[in-house]
Amino acid sequence: MRRSDDDTDASLRIPLRGGDEDASGDEEATSQAGGRRWLLTIVVAISLVGLGLLLGMRAPVDGECDRFPGNEGSPVPPPGARRIPGRLNVHIVPHTHDDVGWLKTVDQYFSGANASIQQADVRRIISSVVDELSKDPKRTFVYAEMAFFSRWWREQDASTRANVRALVVDGRLSFVNGGWCMHDEATAHFADMVQQTALGHEFIRANFGVEALPRVGWQLDPFGHSAVQATHLGSGVGLEAVFFGRADRDDVRTRIETGAMEFTWRGSESLGVKHDVKGFILSKHGNYGPPPGMCYDVVCGDDVRWQVSSS
């Protein structure tokens, strides 16, 4: 995403799609008080997982909603050039959140094993995302956890790697956060947070170059947030903003009332303004999931294309 509406607001590189900008959602990040003239930006995080995309390839598709080779339509502007000045721009960010071990082991999550515990198959998520991105230049995706992506990457042939590199250069596949995992902030030692972030970033730098390094933090699932994330692992690693899903419910309620879901996060008074980072809380529901009625994962059923007729 590149925001160009404000001369004090450096661009963020979460890709936004022009076709999505008229969508509505209940995630609102309102402009800060105090006279700043930032246009309101709403970020709606939609969990699209690979299994859904795989089924999508087989599901009946509304011809006006889908684009396919030979029917691409007019050229798609680059990410960041699709904002409509003077309008409330709504951004839908397709992403997934893949725990590097939770109910299943990291191996089981990657391979899809033990689906009776949890339906999660990260190898297929990444493969289907890359396939779908390749079909339509309007599509973008952000990915966070390099423990999985690097593992998937090692399995790919030269042709697929070249395709993925092109998607990254084009801004259609972006790495956010980019650590080995989406680390906890409440109980982890800061040295471990630094180390695992460096490990993931080194994988990105080595395989995609410095231009592909994340500029946006993506801490959707940690329960609670720490100052070191804002300083050393926010602005300290070149991030311009950190998005997170979970926050204290009273804090969220107050922020909604005062229009402060978008804010400036100062992790250190001594480091001061140079280590400020922009913060965004994605959901008034206290999580990273989509708003009601906008979950397009196969496990949700909000997308009528996934619904099987009973007749």
Interacting residues toward Zn ion by CB under 5 A: 99, 221
Whose CB is nearest to Zn ion? 221
Query: Looking at beta carbons only, is 51 or 133 nearer to Zn ion?
Result: 51
* d(C-alpha 194, C-alpha 215), whole Å: 16
**Taking CA 223 as the corner, what is the angle to CA 225 and CA 272, rounded to the nearest 5 degrees?**
5
CB neighbours of residue 235 within 10 Å: 24
Residues 6+ apart with CB under 8 A from 14: 1, 43, 91, 93, 142, 174, 176, 216
Query: Looking at beta carbons only, is 115 or 169 nearer to Zn ion?
Result: 115
Minimum gap (Å) between residue 231 Cβ and Zn ion: 23
β-sheet with 216-219: strand ranges across: 216-219, 241-244, 277-281, 262-265
Minimum gap (Å) between residue 65 Cβ and Zn ion: 30
Query: Looking at beta carbons only, is 50 or 79 nearer to Zn ion?
Result: 50
Query: Looking at beta carbons only, is 181 or 261 nearer to Zn ion?
Result: 181
Query: Looking at beta carbons only, is 9 or 221 nearer to Zn ion?
Result: 221
Please give the backbone phi and psi of residue 142, each rounded to the nearest 5 degrees, phi first. -120, 145
Query: Looking at beta carbons only, is 51 or 100 nearer to Zn ion?
Result: 100
Query: Looking at beta carbons only, is 47 or 235 nearer to Zn ion?
Result: 47
Q: Token digits for 168?
A: 């990254």
Contact assessment for residue 108 and residue 40, using Cβ atoms and an 8 Å cutoff: no
CA-to-CA separations, 22 to 86, 164, 198, in angstroms, rounded:
13, 28, 37
Max distance between CA atoms of the chain, in angstroms, equals 66
* d(C-alpha 235, C-alpha 215), whole Å: 9
Strands 216-219 and 241-244: parallel
* d(C-alpha 72, C-alpha 161), whole Å: 23
Minimum gap (Å) between residue 176 Cβ and Zn ion: 14
Minimum gap (Å) between residue 43 Cβ and Zn ion: 19
CB neighbours of residue 9 within 10 Å: 17
Minimum gap (Å) between residue 182 Cβ and Zn ion: 7
Query: Looking at beta carbons only, is 28 or 221 nearer to Zn ion?
Result: 221
Minimum gap (Å) between residue 124 Cβ and Zn ion: 18
Minimum gap (Å) between residue 118 Cβ and Zn ion: 11
Minimum gap (Å) between residue 172 Cβ and Zn ion: 25
